Amino acid sequence: MHALILLFALLVSCSSVAIEPSKEGGFLGAAKVVDEMPNWFKASFMDFSEDLEEATDNNKHVMMYFHQNGCPYCAKLVEDDFHNTSLVAKLQKDFDVIETNMWGDRDLTDWRGRELTEKEFSALMKVQFTPTLVFLNSKGDSVLRLNGYQSVEKMHKVLGYVATKKYLNQSFSSYTNNLKKNKTGSLNKNSLFETPPHMLSRNKTLPAQNYLAVFFEEPNCQECDTFHKTLMHLKQTKALLKTMQVVQLNAISETKIITPSGKRTTAKKWYEDLKLTYKPAIVFFDKQGKEIIRKDAFFKAYHFHGIMTYVTSGEYKHQPNFQRYLEDKSDKLRAQGVMVDFWK
């Protein structure tokens, strides 16, 4: 009987150990900004045709601000840009700012009369990153799109470009190049970059062996220098890029190239045609020459590496939304007890 009691106690003890839940990893870097929207944002009834009409009547443009809860880049945009006195003055004077939660369930009607939820509208607008800023003309056409966090300095240029309607006859890239004083100098070097000439043509009939990553940079670019110092030397960055064909282009140069689609052009013209707005920008292409995703803003290591693993793992084929992919990846890491730091 004594032996049976000991055996029962042992079984109970083992059972309690077996059902004890494993420790889940946490989140770092997430920031709640949903309750911190500036009070000068337009109080929209979410009928965007009316919003466009009112903005046009007041000689303004509409700026759509897509965000999500817990987004550190959104928090930084709100803190830096939407609380900068001179920038806010320009926004209030020339723009009606309307916020939309990328995963929100509020009902809205877009300028074409379609009744949607916020998340359906965000999907329709192909929002892949938060924050995303989309500037609209009176007809609801996008005249400029910014994916990711934008600095105060850049936003001043953006607002000037849109408010004065320079977009009618000039690309944003051309506009900013004209403002740049020193256009000479060299780019940051890295052994991962393929040597020219760059003939990047690929298609379904003649696919490439590897994914393609095209870096667009320029001389005397502080953001480019910071990127190379902080992210390009990391082991994970090197490991991921080594599996790809990696090309670096001077985005303001007349260097001749052949694009993945087989078009003959220059680095400068291709950058403009892609409607990129940031440097360093990185555009990722599949083995048949189709663009998968782009990094066209400031990102830290976790999101940058997430973009690259989204490509190299082939997950983009199954999950068209990068944010959903990153959320799922983060949940799996946390389930393994790994601490996920969005702001690393």
* pLDDT tens-digit readout, 234-286: 999 999 999 999 999 999 999 999 999 999 999 999 999 999 999 999 999 99
E-assigned strand segments in 112-244? 115-117, 132-136, 142-147, 198-199, 212-217
Structural domain spans, the chain = 34-169, 198-313
Hunting for tokens 């994916």 — which residue is that? 147
CA 289 to chain centre: 21
Position 30 scores a pLDDT of 59
Position 301 scores a pLDDT of 96
What is 198-313's CATH number? 3.40.30.10
Residue 295 Cα distances to 147, 191, 314, 322, angstroms: 8, 21, 17, 12
* pLDDT tens-digit readout, 186-208: 999 999 999 999 999 999 999 99
pLDDT band at 339 (very low <50, low <70, confident <90, very high): confident
Distance CA 216, CA 198 (A): 13
Average pLDDT for the chain: 90
Helices (H) and strands (E) in the chain, counts: 12, 15
pLDDT band at 210 (very low <50, low <70, confident <90, very high): very high
Position 25 scores a pLDDT of 54
Contact 25, 57 (CB under 8 A): no
Give buried/exposed letters for 178-197 (b at 16+ CB in 10 A, else e).
eeeeeeeeebbeeebbeeee
Distance CA 200, CA 257 (A): 8
Angle at 179 between CA 173 and CA 180, to 5 degrees: 90
User: Residue 19: is its pLDDT beyond 90?
Assistant: no
Position 179 scores a pLDDT of 85
Q: What is the pTM of this model?
A: 0.88
What is 34-169's CATH number? 3.40.30.10
Position 24 scores a pLDDT of 59
Position 196 scores a pLDDT of 94
Angle at 183 between CA 177 and CA 189, to 5 degrees: 115
* pLDDT tens-digit readout, 75-93: 999 999 999 999 999 999 9
User: Residue 6: is its pLDDT beyond 60?
Assistant: no
For the residues 120-131, what does the mean pLDDT come to? 96
Residues 6+ positions from 35 with CB-CB distance below 8 Å: none
* pLDDT tens-digit readout, 252-266: 999 999 999 999 999
The helix (run of H) or strand (run of E) holding residue 70 is none
- Tokens standing for 234? 């990391």
Percent of the chain's residues with pLDDT above 70: 90
Question: Sign of torsion, CA 186 191 197 200?
Answer: negative
Say whether 198-313 and 34-169 share the same fold: yes
Q: Look at 252 and 183; give whichever has higher pLDDT.
A: 252
User: Residue 174: is its pLDDT beyond 60?
Assistant: yes
Report phi then psi at 247, rounded to 5.
-125, 135
User: Residue 4: is its pLDDT beyond 50?
Assistant: no
